[in-house]
Amino acid sequence: MTPIVLRPQVTCATTEGGMVLLDERSGRYWQLNTTGALILRHLLDGETPRQAAAALAGRYPAAADRAAGDVEQLLATLRERGLLTDAPAPDPTPAPGRITPAHRVLAALCAAAAGPLARARPRHIRAVLRLLRRGASPATPEQTAAARHAVVTVSARCAATRSCLRRSLATTLLCRARGVWPTWCTGVRTDPFGAHAWVAVDGEPIGEPAHERGYTPIITVPPERRSRRR
Poorest-pLDDT segment among 43-52, 79-88, 89-98, 220-229: 89-98
Tell me whether strands 137-138 and 180-181 are parallel, antiparallel or unpaired: parallel
Q: Give every CB contact of residue 164 below 8 A, 6+ residues apart in sequence.
A: 196, 197, 198, 212
20: helix, strand or coil: strand
Q: Which residue has the higher pLDDT, 213 or 198?
A: 198
Q: What is the mean pLDDT of residues 170-175?
A: 97
Nearest-angstrom CA–CA distance, 194 and 209: 15
pLDDT grade for 230, boundaries at 50, 70 and 90: very low
In the chain, the percentage of residues whose pLDDT exceeds 70 is 91
Q: Give every CB contact of residue 212 below 8 A, 6+ residues apart in sequence.
A: 164, 196, 198, 205
φ and ψ of 77, to 5 deg: -65, -45
Q: Check: pTM over 0.95? Answer yes or no.
A: no
Nearest-angstrom CA–CA distance, 18 and 130: 54
Bridge partners of residue 30, in order along the sequence? 21
Poorest-pLDDT segment among 11-15, 65-69, 131-135, 154-158: 11-15
pLDDT grade for 108, boundaries at 50, 70 and 90: very high
Nearest-angstrom CA–CA distance, 17 and 201: 49
Cα angle for residues 185, 186, 191 (degrees, 5° grid): 130
Residue 214 and residue 189 in contact, taking contact as beta carbons nearer than 8 Å: yes
Q: What is the mean pLDDT of residues 173-193?
A: 92
